[in-house]
Amino acid sequence: MGDIVEVFLAFSTYATIVVLKMMLMSPMTGYFRITRKAFANQEDTSLASSTEDKKKLVRVDPDVERVRRCHQNDLENIIPFVVIGLLYTLTGPDLSTALLHFRVFVGSRLFHTVAYVLPLPQPSRAVAFLIGLVTTSSMASRVLITALYL
């Protein structure tokens, strides 16, 4: 249990990094909306242009949708990691085991974003997704084994 402070500092660092990465998807979506001139709301079209026919700018663009799907996949995977990771940290795992989980998860999600946005050929994105899912599940299994109270 002497490791728990260091595990918590490591969790704080990696959780903050991967949540900041997720937050970056919002400005990236904004960048694609402005450069592709594809907006979700009528009032937003003034952000891009004052001359063009504004009704035509409320439209769906494949590049914008790709970034949005990547953002959604982050929400579906990074938030479970943060929740399960905090509970896992409090179970007092070995520092080296905990660091392995945190680094593999964050690495897999950074690669997932690259694989989604470029995009890279499959199965690169599918593998990155699965590695993240297995890492979070591994931490969840320790939480349930250590703390089970139904």
Structure tokens at 96: 């080296």
User: Does residue 125 bind its own copies (CB under 8 A)?
Assistant: yes
Question: Site for its own copies (CB under 8 A): which residue of 31, 49, 60, 119?
Answer: 119
Which residue reads 């026919």 in tokens?
Answer: 53
Residues 16-75 that bind its own copies (CB under 8 A): 16-17, 19-20, 22-23, 25-27, 40-41, 43-44, 46-47, 66, 69, 71, 75
Nearer to its own copies, 52 or 119 (CB): 119
User: Does residue 145 bind its own copies (CB under 8 A)?
Assistant: no
Enumerate residues 6+ apart whose C-beta is below 8 A from 82: 15, 18, 19
Of 60, 66, 62, 67, whose CA–CA distance to 25 is shortest? 67
Cα gap 61→72, rounded to integer Å: 16
User: Does residue 96 bind its own copies (CB under 8 A)?
Assistant: no
- Nearest approach in angstroms of CB 81 to its own copies is 10
Cα gap 143→150, rounded to integer Å: 13
- Nearest approach in angstroms of CB 56 to its own copies is 16
